[in-house]
């Protein structure tokens, strides 16, 4: 049968085939910025005024246009149905487990449920009791449980919930015995932190405004202390630049406070941003009740502590990359902390990177990575001896110990083609038994036939880039396979193996799934991370391009069947990959993506991200931001691939105008005749727990790019 639509079709014929009116032309304005003698034009600057009616109308028209096209694609609804079927077949999923005074509190999501609910039980084998259901709490609304922190006596719990992915919490306090909310209600916040040891109050993150489109809404945040039963107006500014100006806390960071049951003699604080190096303070716990706390430095950025921090009694343990590009675990004493003379607990390994550690009663459980798979060892706090722990199979390891007064912990393992499986783990004996919380996942036979190849790709500068390739057993590598190349490469986050039901549902349909371990992540340590950072950021998308070229050269796919996707900070990667090599991709997804790097710091979440990407106020970093900026590199008259940009209307991290401006620039520039769509999720933020929203969102994205890659299951309906 002759195809109704071919990939080489012109835009007018493409629209006519749907009976769809042409999208109104997006206007341009005379806007620009001049930095250090260079002028950067910004003709779509007007879209940043996202509160103005004309901008609201533009996004609405784009959304309606996009939906009218996506609604006509085969395969989309089938993907949603498949994901729902897989979800309903799974056992209940339990997470966010907290143990206090014999009670265990946790989030539990039943098969087929949209969002998780809050439960507790008395002891591991106690009777389960429902505390909070986000779906029924406010009639007609599906909320998300953002945080749930019980008091240390287990009698009260502070619950933070938000709506439609906004990541702005309302905090309420529940009496656990009666399951009734008290009168306390706090809004807007960024969540609950810790209760005080006397169980009378808790710390929370105060933010200025719930309006995620307000660029000042997250500036000058404060940790406040709320006492149960008191008026919110009485909440003290416990830790901020306002209460401690001598600490010179930047307006963009989040000042936080925390307590540790393993180190009850101290009160800790710190400042949070995307900068990985920790900046923290501490004082004896007696100062908690004083008017003015005399904070003492615990670590500065120059100590290069990253990834993890744990206090046990007077000892404090942390990971550092100082003189250790693959990281090492060190310890100092809180009575006289001196990181320059710290004791080495786990020395740097030349062939593995130190990922994280946790503690039980008698052990530190330490996880290393060989670049793909994790390896577990344990350090005996009494004997100071480290031993390896053998696990049933390799993959990514997840560890948690709900009660650090025992050695009873839990370890979960997952890989690209093996679902998450959890075990009870006795750190004293290394015994593994079936988990008391999460039972093994269940998937159809087709998902058990997925194969994995781990290869290394030579990059543009000779660097070897790890590439994980997932595919259906028996598939021919003849260049005719649709392929989804999914990358990130920022903040030092590694692309660790995990079983993705969403992407593996494509793999069982014959789609090649490829995960590149590009620079900007830390699969090969601190140097790998800094190799895709600020001025070296071009390596991130150049590595992505090298992996795309490898997939084509080895017959996994072809440029006519290759799609790339990048989410959030991965928007830099995908926007620059397709502007640098538009010929290499049939389609691309820019999902809530940072596609306008030069303007990023002017959004609500922008200032806190300056340590990772840079600022236009610095001459060197300004040039680096220009290189990262997809919008700035769109050129008229270029044959760009088909692109779907996605924005969350309630997104506090990447405001919808970033992917919106990229879509507008591409729509006005491309001459390929391939569609450029701007999808707007009005019921979503950067993400959401709501499975109905999530499934519909990714089904639209995948159906679009698979259509453009020629996959037969995703062609337009007749």
* SS3 state of residue 264: coil
- pLDDT tens-digit series, residues 171-228: 999 999 999 999 999 999 999 999 999 999 999 999 999 998 899 999 999 999 999 9
CATH architecture assignment, domain 259-348: Beta Barrel (2.40)
Domains 11-19+63-85+444-714 and 259-348 share a fold: no
Query: What's the pLDDT at 5?
Result: 29
> What is each CA distance from 689 to 142, 145, 650, in whole angstroms?
10, 9, 14
Mean pLDDT of the chain: 95
Distance between first and last Cα of the chain: 12
DSSP 592: T
| pLDDT per position as a tens digit, 592-644 | 999 999 999 999 899 999 999 999 999 999 999 999 999 999 999 999 999 99
Read off the tokens for 312.
Answer: 């046990």
Quote the pLDDT of residue 142.
Answer: 83
Residue 279 is predicted with a pLDDT of: 97
CA-CA distance, 113 to 93, in Å (whole number)? 10
Model confidence at 93: pLDDT above 90:
yes
Cβ neighbours of residue 6 closer than 8 Å, sequence gap 6 or more: none
CA 335 vs CA 113, 261, 663: distances in Å: 49, 18, 56
> What gap in Å lies between CA 395 and CA 372, rounded to an integer?
7
Question: How would DSSP label each residue in 135-190?
Answer: TTSSTT--EEEEEEEE-TTSSEEEEEEEETT---EEEEEEETTTTEEEEEEEEEEE
The whole-number pLDDT of residue 9 equals: 32
Tokens of 670: 């491309």
Q: Which pLDDT does position 213 carry in this prediction?
A: 87
Least confident residue range of 16-20, 26-30, 304-308: 16-20
Strands 562-567 and 642-648: unpaired
* Buried-state track 230-268, b at ≥16 Cβ within 10 A, e below 16: eeeeebeebbbbebbeebebeebbbbbbebbeebeebbb
pLDDT at 1: 30
CB 136 within 8 A of CB 117: no
Instruction: Provide the percentage of residues in the chain whose pLDDT is more than 90.
Output: 94
Going by pLDDT thresholds of 50, 70 and 90, the confidence category of residue 3 is very low
- Which residues, 6+ apart, have CB-to-CB distance to 35 below 8 Å? 616, 619, 622
CA distances from 670 to 542, 633, 666 (A): 22, 12, 6
Spatial separation of the C-alpha atoms in residues 32 and 19, rounded to whole Å: 38
In this prediction, residues 459-465 reach a mean pLDDT of: 98
Distance of alpha carbon 82 from alpha carbon 64, whole angstroms: 26
Kindly tell me if the per-residue pLDDT of 125 is higher than 60: yes
Q: HSE-up of 298 (CA within 13 Å, CB side)?
A: 30
Residue 282, CA distances (Å) to 55, 93, 192, 226, 537 in order: 47, 36, 20, 20, 35
Q: Which residues of 486-495 are buried (b: 16+ CB within 10 A; e: fewer)?
A: bbbbbbbebb
Q: Count CB neighbours of 186 within 10 A.
A: 20
Question: What share of the chain has pLDDT > 70, as a percent?
Answer: 97
Angle between helix 76-88 and 691-708 (nearest 10): 140
Give the pLDDT band of residue 25 (cuts 50, 70, 90): confident
Q: In the numeric block, which tokens belong to residue 104? A: 């265990």
* DSSP codes, 358-427: EE-SSEEEEEEESSSSEEEEEEETTT--EEEE--SS-SEEEEE-S-TTSSEEEEEEEETTEEEEEEEEET
* Cα separation, 429 vs 378, whole angstroms: 11
- Looking at residue 20, what is its pLDDT? 57
pLDDT given for residue 24 in this prediction: 77
- Report the distance separating Cα 507 and Cα 86, nearest Å: 14
Q: Calculate the CA dihedral of residues 538, 534, 484, 581 and round it to 10 degrees.
A: -30
CA 599 – CA 606 distance, rounded (Å):
8
11, pLDDT greater than 50: no
pLDDT 10s digits, 661-709:
999 999 999 999 999 999 999 999 999 999 999 999 999 999 999 999 9
Token pair for 607: 């200032």
Q: Give the mean model confidence (pLDDT) for residues 430-443.
A: 96
For 118-121, which contacts have Cβ atoms below 8 Å and span 24 or more sequence positions? 118/145, 118/148, 118/157, 118/159, 120/150, 120/157, 120/176
Where are the domains positioned within the chain? 11-19+63-85+444-714, 259-348, 358-379+386-442
Residue 659 has pLDDT above 60, yes or no: yes
pTM of the model: 0.95
Of 448, 503, 435, nearest in space to 91 by CA: 435
Residue 190: the pLDDT is: 96
d(Cα 708, Cα 492) in Å, to the nearest integer?
32
Instruction: Return the pLDDT at 308.
Output: 84
Pairwise CA distance, residues 332 & 315, whole Å: 6
Domain 11-19+63-85+444-714 part of CATH 3.40.50.1820: yes
pLDDT digits (tens, 9 = 90+) for 359-387: 999 999 999 999 999 999 999 999 999 99
Query: How far is Cα 651 from Cα 706, in angstroms, rounded to an integer?
Result: 26
State the DSSP H helix or E strand holding residue 346, giving kind and residue range, or none if neither.
Answer: strand 343-346
CA distances for 362 relative to 122, 328, 366, 436, 437, angstroms: 24, 20, 13, 21, 23
Residues 627, 629: Cα–Cα separation, whole Å: 6
Burial group, residue 362, by CB count within 10 angstroms (0-12, 13-18, 19+): middle
> 588-606 pLDDT, tens per residue?
999 999 999 999 999 989 9
Three-state secondary structure call for residue 196: coil
Read off the pLDDT of each residue in 28-36 and give the average, rounded to a whole number.
98
Per-residue tokens: 662: 């990229």
Is 555 a residue whose pLDDT tops 50? Answer: yes
Structure confidence at residue 516 as a pLDDT band (50, 70, 90): very high
């Amino acid at each position: 049968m002759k195809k109704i639509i071919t990939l080489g079709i012109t835009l007018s014929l493409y629209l006519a085939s749907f009976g769809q009116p042409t999208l109104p032309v997006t206007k341009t304005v005379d806007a620009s910025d001049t930095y250090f003698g260079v002028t950067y034009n910004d003709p779509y600057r007007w879209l940043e005024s996202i509160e103005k009616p004309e901008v609201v109308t533009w996004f609405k028209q784009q959304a309606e246009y996009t939906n009218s096209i996506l609604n006509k694609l085969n395969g989309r609804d089938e993907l949603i149905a498949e994901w729902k079927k897989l979800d309903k077949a799974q056992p209940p999923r339990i997470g966010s487990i907290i143990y206090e005074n014999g009670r265990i509190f946790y989030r539990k999501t039943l098969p087929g449920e949209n969002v998780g609910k809050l439960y507790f039980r008395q002891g591991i084998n106690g009777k389960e009791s429902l505390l909070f259901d986000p779906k029924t709490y406010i009639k007609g609304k599906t909320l998300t449980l953002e945080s749930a922190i019980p008091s240390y006596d287990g009698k009260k719990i502070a619950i933070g919930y938000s709506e439609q992915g906004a990541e702005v919490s309302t905090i309420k306090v529940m009496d656990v015995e009666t399951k009734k909310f008290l009168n306390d209600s706090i809004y807007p916040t960024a969540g609950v932190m810790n209760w005080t040891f006397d169980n009378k109050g808790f710390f929370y993150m105060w933010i200025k405004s719930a309006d995620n489109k307000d660029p000042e809404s997250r500036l000058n945040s404060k940790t406040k202390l709320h006492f149960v039963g008191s008026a919110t107006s009485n909440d003290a500014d416990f830790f901020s630049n306002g209460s401690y100006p001598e600490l010179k806390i930047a307006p963009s960071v989040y000042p936080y406070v925390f307590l540790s049951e393993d180190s009850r003699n101290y009160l800790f604080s710190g400042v949070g941003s995307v900068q990985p190096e920790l900046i923290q303070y501490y004082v004896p716990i007696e100062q908690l009740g004083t008017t003015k706390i005399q904070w003492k430095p615990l670590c500065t950025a120059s100590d290069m502590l990253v990834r993890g921090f744990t206090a046990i009694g007077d000892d404090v343990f942390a990971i550092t990359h100082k003189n250790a590009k693959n990281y090492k675990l060190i310890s100092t004493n809180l009575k006289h902390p001196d990181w320059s003379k710290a004791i080495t607990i786990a020395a740097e390994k030349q062939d593995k990177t130190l990922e994280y550690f946790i503690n039980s009663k008698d052990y530190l459980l330490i996880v290393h990575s060989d670049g793909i798979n994790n390896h577990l060892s344990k350090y005996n706090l009494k004997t100071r001896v480290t031993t390896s722990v053998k696990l049933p199979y390799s993959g990514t390891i997840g560890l948690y110990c709900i009660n650090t007064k025992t050695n009873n912990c839990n370890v979960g393992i997952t890989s690209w083609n093996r679902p998450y499986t959890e075990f009870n783990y006795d750190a004293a004996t290394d015994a593994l038994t079936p988990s008391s919380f999460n039972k093994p996942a269940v998937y159809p036979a087709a998902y058990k036939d997925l194969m994995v190849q781990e290869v290394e790709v030579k990059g543009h500068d000779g660097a070897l880039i790890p590439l994980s390739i997932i595919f259906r057993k028996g598939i021919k590598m003849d260049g005719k396979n649709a392929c989804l190349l999914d990358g990130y490469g920022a903040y030092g986050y590694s692309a660790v193996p995990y079983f993705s039901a969403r992407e593996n549902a494509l793999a069982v349909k014959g789609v090649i799934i490829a995960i590149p371990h590009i620079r900007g992540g830390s699969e090969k340590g601190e140097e790998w991370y800094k190799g895709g950072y600020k001025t070296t950021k071009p390596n991130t998308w150049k590595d992505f391009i090298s992996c795309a070229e490898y997939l084509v050269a080895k017959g996994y796919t072809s440029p006519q069947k290759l799609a790339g996707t990048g989410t959030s900070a991965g928007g830099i990667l995908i926007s620059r990959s397709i502007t640098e090599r538009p010929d290499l991709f049939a389609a691309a997804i820019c999902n809530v993506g940072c596609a306008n790097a030069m303007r990023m710091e002017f959004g609500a979440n922008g200032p806190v991200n300056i340590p990772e990407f840079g600022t236009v106020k610095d001459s060197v970093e300004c040039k680096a931001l220009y290189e990262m900026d997809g919008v700035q590199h769109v050129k008229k008259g270029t044959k760009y691939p088909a692109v779907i940009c996605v924005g969350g209307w309630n997104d506090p991290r990447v405001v919808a105008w970033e992917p919106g401006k990229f879509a507008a620039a591409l729509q006005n520039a491309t001459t390929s005749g391939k569609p450029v769509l701007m999808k707007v999720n009005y019921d979503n933020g950067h993400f959401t727990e709501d499975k109905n929203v999530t499934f519909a969102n990714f089904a639209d994205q995948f159906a679009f790019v698979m259509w453009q890659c020629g996959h037969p299951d995703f062609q337009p309906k007749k």
